[in-house]
Chains A and B, each alone.
Chain A
């Protein structure tokens, strides 16, 4: 039953994405060019890993797409993250309405096949039963005050509030004794403040997020250590080298909710399955050759995700590459 539901969900998401992309190109090709894409280059940010407009890891207060307060904008993106022992694929789309409201959908697929193989070999039993953990993220963001780009003579930033509803498909696994998540779905709520210090070529963002999500929600929500909302701070700084090129860095606090129930059940309380969650950071370069395309490359460090030293899966510090491409108008 769950499999059928999953397939239907994936199919729905794929067809949604396909029609969004088709609509995107149809409208930008057919419509009067005067009424689209009049936001300045790169000022709509790029697609962050959960689908909202922002940096790589963090939502910003900007509204996605190149639509002004008189226009509709939109984009579709694909993001590939490869760390030492894991892989994450994300694709999705974002719609921006009148530089006020942003709606986004993203589908994430997290590959832990390498860990599964180690654990299966070590235990002689396939307790994972899958290589991928997938989730769907639906996001909504509303700009409530300020103008990040043009208000260059005040300290007042652009401020937006947002939420991200996350629905993890792997209910059985993430709530199993291996992981011990308390729920397979959750909603992050955040407020972001973004300011372009134009005379200094510097963009700053701070986001405060209330969340229960473990590893962005890929390992479910809540756990044996914590099962309540906690505030997490996310910071970004970007330096503009040219109007089409920016470099920057981000830091994202993440909660540390999980303690594998298997440690008590099977290993006498020893921390054999180590699910300690660390903060994440990245160093990125973003390039927008035109308003229709932006490319982001980053070094990303996600810290520990899941380590099982007893079976040779000493996966402590997960660092690697982040590559993202976005098309839109």
Chain B
């Protein structure tokens, strides 16, 4: 065994620093602080979703599922549905490099008036999978998008206890 201990240690340290620094997150903020993740390269996934037109149809069915599911109903059974769907289309479109610009708030701000737990987060993933299945998005393309969305649990989930539905300020 003739291992260069010094070089090995340096490599290990460099790897650890790389992992801890999470450069992906830094890039996100350089790109679009509100998007939640870096967009994909290429447009193959965007095309597998049927482009923006396909996304709009998927979001329509997604919202129907979210309102029907008792786990997600409290978060979506309100008068913000049209706005939320439009925001989701822009966000997904930009993440899939479809040439859009998500104009919404970051994930923390957009979920500040509610408490989301893992049950709610996973329930939403399941309803999204149903909607993508219904529109024949290939499983592999679904997972490419889900890989961009899943890490957002870190901003969206704010409790490991009971979920709390959003509270909207009264508007005249």
Contacts and interface: CB of A to CB of B under 8 A. Distances in A.
Contacts of A155: 19
A176 B75 CA distance: 66
A199 B19 contact: no
Contacts of A153: 22, 24-25, 37, 147-148, 151
B144 A199 contact: yes
A68 B25 CA distance: 26
Nearest to A66: B122
Interface in B99-129: 117-119, 122-123, 125-126, 129
A227 interface: no
A149 B150 contact: yes
Contact of A34 (B25, B119, B139): B119
Interface string B1-22: 0000000000000000001001
Nearest to B126: A40
B143 interface: yes
Interface in A70-105: 70-71, 98-99
A242 interface: yes
B150 A152 contact: yes
Contacts of A68: 117-119, 122
Main secondary structure of the interface of A (DSSP, over half): loop
B153 interface: yes
A228 interface: no
A132 to B, nearest CB: 42
B151 A152 contact: yes
B160 A201 contact: no
A70 B19 contact: no
Contacts of B19: 154-156
Q: Which of A40, A150, A156 has the most CB of B within 10 A?
A: A150
B151 A243 contact: no
B144 A242 contact: no
Interface in B1-57: 19, 22, 24-25, 37
B140 interface: yes
B119 A70 contact: yes
A265 interface: no
B150 A38 contact: no
Nearest to B120: A38
B135 interface: no
Contacts of A99: 118
Contacts of B160: 69-70, 98
A242 B138 CA distance: 9
B81 to A, nearest CB: 22
A242 B139 contact: yes
A239 to B, nearest CB: 11
Contact of B139 (A33, A71, A243): A243
Nearest to A241: B139
B143 A201 contact: yes
Contacts of A240: 139, 143
Contacts of A199: 143-144, 147
B11 to A, nearest CB: 15
Contact of A38 (B24, B123, B144): B123
Interface string A235-251: 00000111100000000
Interface of A: 33-35, 38-41, 68-71, 98-99, 147, 149-156, 198-199, 201, 240-243
15 contacts: A34-B71, A38-B71, A38-B122, A69-B118, A70-B119, A99-B118, A150-B150, A150-B151, A151-B150, A152-B146, A155-B19, A199-B143, A201-B143, A240-B139, A242-B139
Interface of B: 19, 22, 24-25, 37, 70-71, 117-119, 122-123, 125-126, 129, 139-140, 143-144, 146-148, 150-151, 153, 160-161
